[in-house]
Structures are given as structure tokens and as C-alpha cells.
Chains A and B, each alone.
Chain A
């Protein structure tokens, strides 16, 4: 495995059983590499498998085929997380942080306690030092004045900031973001994007962002992956996707290019919606 690669996703397959008993293949041979230090955005329409892929990457779902190979700095050699026992998987988990869509703060704990929890549980750092680390992390996300509040007293954007502070508590090598802009107004969304870029630079982390907010994706991405029906439709630099987005639809010839052009611009007319009866897009949503 290339030393620049921090996570290698190899031919990953994930299936679910629908309530009717049918097998639905949500990820169908997904393959791509995540490079050390980059910000990669995974995007696609509803039901394309991006959230499932994130859950597979963090070890929440067991994959049915393929490999997800991590190569963090503290690992002596690259390891497939599918083969790791729970204890070793937890060691890998300590090397990454996650910002969940809702923030997923522990509601029974204050803001400061939420951030202190991973440090307290996974290190022997004395309580006074933990307090200092918590202060630093809250300063990074500009939430210091809210340290004693409970999550219920925070707005959606503030919860995400605190979630981000908690995600960075153990100084991770990789940060995963699950729909970081979802449910936020454009200004708050842009602020969160700036914060992600800032943290990425300051902490030198690899960022993996799952989103379908195109403004946000183009603001933060170094590279982008577009998924469609559980497969990688395109992987490339942000500039390649910008070119596809800005190209006039009539100048594009291939179905895939047209499809991406439609998705990136948010057009209601195009190959994603151009079928008789129920659109493919609608079918995707229902299947998803």
C-alpha cells in the first residue's frame, strides 16, 4: 500500500435485507484511496450509499465483501478493519474523530464533560490537565463561553462546533464528518466549513466529509468522490468536478457526465430524473 494512503477502500460490498426479505446491495464494489492530509468529499444523491460507506469506514457496519485498510501513524503495519477484533478496532477508533450529523452530544453531560469524556476514558491525563485541554479545544471552535452549558441549551450550529471539539479531543489523524452542513442556515454552514478548513490546516488531519451540500463540498474539498447506486461514478480533484459543474449541459456527451452535471448544479431535468413514470432518483430514494 502506498505510504501516502491512510485509508484504502477496496471493492467494498454491503448488503441489507429489506423488510420484504429481498437483498439490497447498497455498496457494490466501492474502491478508492484516501490520501494522508487531504480533505476528500464523498457525495451523491439520497440512497446512493454514502452514509453506509461512512458507517463501514468507522467500523459501525461489518462489510460483506472487500477490504477497508487503515494505515495510521501508530499502526505498525496497514490493517484491514474487517479482520480486527473489537479491542484492536477500538485502538484504530482512537485515531479518528467523528462529527455526526446531529452533533450526537451526550445530553446528560455538559459541553465540557462531553469533550473531556474521551480524554478521561482513554488516557491517564490528570484532571487539571484535562480541564486545560478542554479549554483549548473549545477555544479552537470558539465555544469557550458555553463550556458549562448542557447540549439542550445550544443551537444546531453550536452543537456541531462542540461535536467537532469532541471529535478532536484525542488529537486524531483522521476526522470524519457526516453531513456537517445539514440543517444549518447558509451563514452557519459557511462558518462550519471555515472551521473545518482551519482545523484541517492546524491539526494536519485527513478529513473525510460525507455531504450533498454542493456549496460546502466545493469550499472544503481537495478531492471528491461521487457515488451512484453504491458505485464510484467519479473520483477526482475538485477542479475536475468544477469543470463538470460549469460545463453547459448540451456540451456533455456521456450519460455519467450529464448525470454529474445535473447533480452538481441541482437541476430538476436530466438523466437522474429523465425516465418514464417514477424517476430513477425517486427509485433511489425509495430503495435507500
Chain B
């Protein structure tokens, strides 16, 4: 006789206990399989990204050193404008707010210690080493990353990528390389702007609201910051730019399922970029801390 709940009499006693156990084991098994699947998908995605990076770097090398292989300067310039120049406004706005928030949040504690003017040091270090590159990268992942994923995904769905290959044009060279280079260069540039604007936001707040003398603020900022701080921030920005472009291009190239697939790719790009950016930033911070960089 079957002990299946659907075919047998209502479960009671030992059989009900067995059914409960079976459901629990099935539930745990399903969760484990789902988790393994997700891990597998993550590994595959990282593998695809690594492959994409390898191909793109190979094309970059060939474009620079092999005669006849074009660097595609006009495509690069177009992408730099699209990714970077159009993001300046929003990065400036966000970073000014970050400077203001930092100054106002730190003020009460520092005032308690009688060190209100030290708000300059903290804002400078936090913005230049951390929040300048990170917040700019997060803004760019939503602004440019999603747009790159949608564009490449739509191209794939419209058979444009297949057409590129059929015309003996390599999509890594033609599509990925300009976007990767543009995102790396423009995020590094945007971070310089973000650093200046963020510190300026803190300066304005300290001067106008907290009544810290402007000269004191500038002196403390100058003494707090070294070139090391600027370069670690800019290095991180470059890596963040590479991550955003790789995730966006990878998601775009994996699109399937029409408009819905394109939508999924743009959402996935933003989510994966933010997780990757914060994860990599934590890794960098730990390494810089250990090596006292």
C-alpha cells in the first residue's frame, strides 16, 4: 500500500510523522540544491567575466601594438561622453550631499571632544579614500552600467551582434573594449571631481553651519591628505570602473528572452555591480589596512 498522502488515507500516528520528516528532508534538499545552483551560476558568471576581460585585454593589446588593428578612437570618445560626461551632474550633486551629510553627522561627536574643526580631516579622508570612488561607482553602475547592459542586450536580441560576427567584426573589439576603457577612464576622472566636490560640501557646511573658519578647514584638509590617499582612491576607481563595465557587458551578452531578458539584465547589472563594488572595496580597505597603505 502506498503511503503517499495523496493516495492513502489521512495520515496519522507514525505515518504522519514520516510524512513530516520527508517534507522536511525534501525542503532542506531543495534549499541545498537551490543554493548549489546559485553558487554554480555565480562561478559561471565570474568565469564569463574573466573570459571577457581576457579577450578584451588581448584586443586592447593588439589595438595598441599590432599595425592595422584599430583602437576605435571615435567609439571610445563617444562612450567617454556617454558614460562620463553625462554623469558629471549627478555625481557632483550626490557628492556635495555626501560632504554635507558627513560634516553634519560628525559635528556633534567632535564638538563633545572639543575638536569640531577636525571635521575637515575626517571628511577629507573619508571622501578621498572611500566615498569619492565608491559613491561615484555606485552612481555610475545605475547610470551607465544599466544603460550598457540594455544597449548590448537589445543589440543581441536584434541580431546585431550576430551581424557583427558575420561581418568578421569581433564584438569584444567592437563593443566591449571601448565601453571598458571609457568606464575605467571616466570613473577615474569622475572620482577626482567627486573628491573635490565632496570636500567642498564639507567645507561649505563647516563654514556656514558649524562656523569653522575657512582657513582652518583648508589647512587641516591639506595636512590630512597625502598623495597616497588620492592614488589609493583613484586606483580603486579604476578597478570599480572595470568591474561595472565587465558586469554590464557580460549581462548584455548573456541576454535571451526578448524585452523581458533585457529588463532582467539591466536589473542584474545594477544589483551585481553594487554587491561587487562594496565587496571589492572591503577587500581593498582590508589590504590597505594590513599593509598600511
Contact = CB atoms under 8 A, between A and B. Distances in A.
Interface of A: 58-60, 86, 90-91, 93-94, 96, 98, 100-102, 104-107, 117-118, 121-122, 166
B163 A104 contact: yes
B163 to A, nearest CB: 4
Contacts of B162: 60, 100, 104
Contacts of A101: 159
B168 A93 contact: yes
A107 B160 contact: yes
A102 B158 contact: yes
B168 A104 contact: no
Contacts of A86: 170
B166 A58 contact: yes
Contacts, number: 50
Q: How large is the interface on B (under 10, 10 to 19, 20 to 34, 35 or more residues)?
A: 10 to 19
A71 to B, nearest CB: 18
Given A93-B167, A107-B160, A118-B167, 8 more contacts: A60-B165, A90-B168, A90-B170, A98-B163, A104-B158, A104-B163, A105-B160, A122-B167
Q: Which 8 A-B pairs have the closest CB atoms?
A: A90-B168, A104-B159, A104-B163, A93-B168, A98-B166, A118-B167, A100-B159, A94-B168
A280 to B, nearest CB: 27
Nearest to A178: B159
A117 B166 contact: no
A93 B158 contact: no
Interface in B139-181: 154-155, 158-160, 162-163, 165-170
Nearest to A114: B163
A118 B168 CA distance: 8
B167 A117 contact: yes
A118 B166 CA distance: 10
B160 A106 contact: yes
Nearest to A108: B151
A60 B159 contact: no
B168 A60 contact: no
Nearest to A58: B166
B65 to A, nearest CB: 16
Contacts of B163: 98, 100, 104-106
A102 B154 CA distance: 13
A101 B162 CA distance: 12
A121 B63 CA distance: 13
B159 A102 contact: yes
A121 B169 contact: yes
B169 to A, nearest CB: 6
A93 B160 contact: no
Interface in B58-113: 70
A256 B169 CA distance: 42
Contacts of B154: 107
A107 B167 contact: no
Nearest to B68: A124
Contacts of B165: 59-60, 93
Contacts of A166: 167
29 contacts: A58-B166, A59-B165, A60-B162, A90-B168, A90-B170, A93-B165, A93-B166, A94-B168, A98-B163, A98-B166, A100-B163, A100-B166, A101-B159, A102-B159, A104-B159, A104-B160, A104-B162, A106-B155, A106-B163, A107-B155, A107-B158, A117-B167, A117-B169, A118-B167, A118-B168, A121-B167, A121-B168, A121-B169, A166-B167
B86 to A, nearest CB: 16
A111 to B, nearest CB: 14
A91 B168 contact: yes
